[in-house]
C-alpha cells in the first residue's frame, strides 16, 4: 500500500468529503495493520506517523489490552502533545489513564451515571427534544445541526450545574477542541459576554488569543494554556452556590487540580461533541435511506435497534490512539515499544468478518457488535445517556415533522477524529 494512499487516512481534508469507507475496505483486506504518515496540516507540523488498525478483531484486541497498548504513555489523540508539560497535564484525564489508576477515576464519574440518575434524566431529555423540534415545526425548514446541538449541551449543563445563560460556552469549548482542524470552528466564540453569568464573564478574561499560539506556533487545543478560560470557569463553578452539582461533588472527591480540570474537560467536551455530531449524522443516514426512515416512523418499536445501527453506520468518533508499551506483533506487523497505534472504529464497524453486507443500513440488524462506544476498560460510561439523547431527538424529528427530507447538501466537519456535520438543511410539511 503506497504512502500516498495511506496518507489519506490521516489527512483531515479527506473526511470533509466523507469517511473513506472504500479505502478502509481495501486496507482491511490488503494491509489491516499498516503505517500511516502524519503529514503537515496547515500550521500543524508533521508527526512521526503511526500504526493504523482496521479490522474489528484487532481493534478490540488493542482496546482490551492496556498492558500492551497504553492510553497513558502518549495520551489518546493522534497528534502528540506539544511539550512534556502538556503531556503530563492531559495524562490526568480519565481517558488517558490505564488500570488501576483509570478505575479510581471511573468510579468517581460512574456516580453521576447510575441507572436511577439516567432514568430520571430520560423524561426531561425526551421533553427537551420535543420542545426543540416544536420550536421550529412551524417554519417548514431548518438547519438540523443547529436544532440538535442544543440537546447535548442542555443535558450536560443540567448534569453539571452550569447556569442556563452559560450553555453557549460549552458549545464554544467543544468547537475549539474538537474542531481545531476546521477553519470555522477552531476559534469559536459565539457566547454573548453580556448574556453570561458573572463567572462566565470572568472566565472570558482568561481566553487566549484566537488562534492561540506559543512562540508563533499553534497551541495544542487540549493544553491547559489553550483552555485557560474553561478551567477558570470550572473552578468558579465548583466553588459556586450549587453544592450538589456534579462538579462540586467532583471537587470533593479528592481529585488533584489536574484531575479536576480534566474531568470538567471530559464532561464539557467529550460528552457534548459526540452527540452534536451523532444526532445530525443519524438523521442524515435515515433521510438517505427513505424506506428505513418510513419504517421507523411507522414502527416506534424499531427505535432501539435503529439507534444501534445508526451508531454503527455513523460512528461519532472515528478513531482513538494508544501507545505500545513493548515490542509486540499485530496483524503480521512488528510494532516497537513507544510507537503510536490508532484504532479505526469507523472501519471496524464495516468489517465483513463481523457484519453481513456491512455497507447496507439495516435498522433491524441483530446482533450489532459495533465499537462506536469503544471496548474494554474504556467503554464509554455515558453510552446509555448518549443512546437516550439520540433516541429522543430522532423520534421527535420523525414524529413531529411530517415529510421530513433533505433541503440541500450537508456540510461536513474537517476532522480526522470526529465524524461531524456543520450544516444539515432539512424541510418538512407544515399545516399552513
83-126: pLDDT as tens digits: 999 999 999 999 999 999 999 999 888 877 777 877 888 999 99
Rounded to whole angstroms, the Cα distance separating 268 from 182 reads 19
pLDDT tens-digit map of 74-84: 999 999 998 99
**For the residues 59-68, what does the mean pLDDT come to?**
98
* Domain residue ranges in the chain: 3-427
Q: What is the pLDDT of residue 179?
A: 83
Q: The pTM is what?
A: 0.94
DSSP-assigned beta bridge partners for residue 69? 324
Q: Which fold does the domain 3-427 belong to in CATH? A: Cytochrome p450 (1.10.630)
With cut-offs at 50, 70 and 90, classify the pLDDT of residue 2: low
Task: Give residue 396's pLDDT.
Answer: 98
Least confident piece of the model among 266-280, 320-334, 355-369, 391-405? 266-280
| The predicted structure's pLDDT at residue 245 | 67
Residues 145-167 have a mean pLDDT of: 90
- DSSP conformation letters of 7-29: HHHH-HHHHHS---HHHHHHHHH
User: Residue 300 pLDDT more than 80?
Assistant: yes
SS (H, E, C) 84-118: HHHHHHHCCCHHHCCCCHHHHHHHHHHHHHCHHHH
Task: Name the band, by pLDDT with cuts 50, 70 and 90, for residue 242.
Answer: low
Q: What pLDDT does 210 receive?
A: 59
Least confident of 26-40, 154-168, 175-189, 294-308: 175-189
pLDDT, position 54: 98
Which residues, including other chains, have CB under 8 Å from residue 203's CB and lie 6 or more apart?
169, 229, 230, 232, 233, 236
* Residue 206 confidence class, pLDDT cut points 50, 70, 90: very high
Amino acid at each position: 500500500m503506497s504512502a500516498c494512499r495511506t496518507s489519506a487516512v490521516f489527512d483531515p481534508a479527506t473526511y470533509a468529503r466523507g469517511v473513506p469507507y472504500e479505502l478502509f475496505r481495501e486496507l482491511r483486506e490488503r494491509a489491516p495493520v499498516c503505517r500511516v504518515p502524519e503529514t503537515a496540516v496547515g500550521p500543524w507540523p508533521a508527526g512521526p506517523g503511526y500504526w493504523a488498525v482496521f479490522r474489528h478483531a484487532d481493534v478490540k484486541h488493542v482496546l482490551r489490552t492496556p498492558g500492551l497498548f497504553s492510553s497513558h504513555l502518549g495520551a489518546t489523540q493522534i497528534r502528540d502533545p506539544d511539550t512534556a508539560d502538556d503531556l503530563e497535564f492531559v495524562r490526568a484525564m480519565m481517558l488517558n489513564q490505564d488500570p488501576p489508576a483509570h478505575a479510581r477515576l471511573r468510579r468517581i464519574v460512574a456516580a453521576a451515571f447510575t441507572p436511577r440518575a439516567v432514568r430520571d434524566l430520560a423524561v426531561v431529555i425526551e421533553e427537551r427534544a420535543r420542545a426543540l423540534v416544536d420550536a421550529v415545526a412551524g417554519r417548514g425548514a431548518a438547519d438540523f445541526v443547529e436544532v440538535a446541538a442544543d440537546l447535548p449541551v442542555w443535558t450536560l449543563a443540567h448534569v453539571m450545574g452550569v447556569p442556563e445563560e452559560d450553555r453557549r460556552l460549552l458549545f464554544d469549548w467543544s468547537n475549539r477542541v474538537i474542531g481545531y482542524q476546521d477553519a470555522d470552528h477552531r476559534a469559536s466564540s459565539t457566547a454573548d459576554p453580556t448574556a453570561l453569568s458573572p463567572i462566565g464573564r470572568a472566565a472570558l478574561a482568561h481566553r487566549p488569543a484566537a488562534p492561540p499560539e506559543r512562540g508563533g506556533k499553534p497551541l495544542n487545543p487540549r493544553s491547559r494554556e489553550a483552555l485557560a478560560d474553561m478551567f477558570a470557569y470550572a473552578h468558579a463553578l465548583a466553588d459556586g452556590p450549587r453544592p450538589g452539582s456534579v462538579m462540586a461533588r467532583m471537587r470533593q472527591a479528592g481529585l488533584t487540580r489536574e484531575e479536576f480540570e480534566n474531568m470538567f474537560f471530559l464532561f464539557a467536551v467529550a460528552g457534548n461533541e459526540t452527540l452534536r455530531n451523532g444526532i445530525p449524522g443519524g438523521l442524515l443516514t435515515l433521510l438517505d435511506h427513505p424506506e428505513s426512515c418510513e419504517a421507523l416512523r411507522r414502527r416506534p418499536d424499531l427505535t432501539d435497534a435503529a439507534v444501534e445501527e445508526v451508531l454503527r453506520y455513523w460512528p461519532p468518533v472515528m478513531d482513538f490512539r494508544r501507545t505500545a508499551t513493548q515490542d509486540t506483533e499485530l496483524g503480521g506487523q512488528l510494532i516497537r515499544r513507544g510507537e503510536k497505534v490508532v484504532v479505526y472504529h469507523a472501519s471496524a464497524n464495516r468489517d465483513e468478518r463481523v457484519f453481513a453486507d456491512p455497507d447496507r443500513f439495516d435498522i433491524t440488524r441483530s446482533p450489532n457488535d459495533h465499537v462506536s462506544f469503544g471496548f474494554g476498560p474504556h467503554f464509554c460510561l455515558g453510552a446509555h445517556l448518549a443512546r437516550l439523547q439520540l433516541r429522543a431527538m430522532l423520534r421527535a424529528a420523525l414524529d413531529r415533522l411530517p415529510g421530513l427530507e433533505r433541503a440541500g447538501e450537508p456540510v461536513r466537519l474537517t476532522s480526522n477524529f470526529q465524524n461531524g456535520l456543520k450544516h444539515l438543511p432539512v424541510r418538512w410539511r407544515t399545516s399552513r
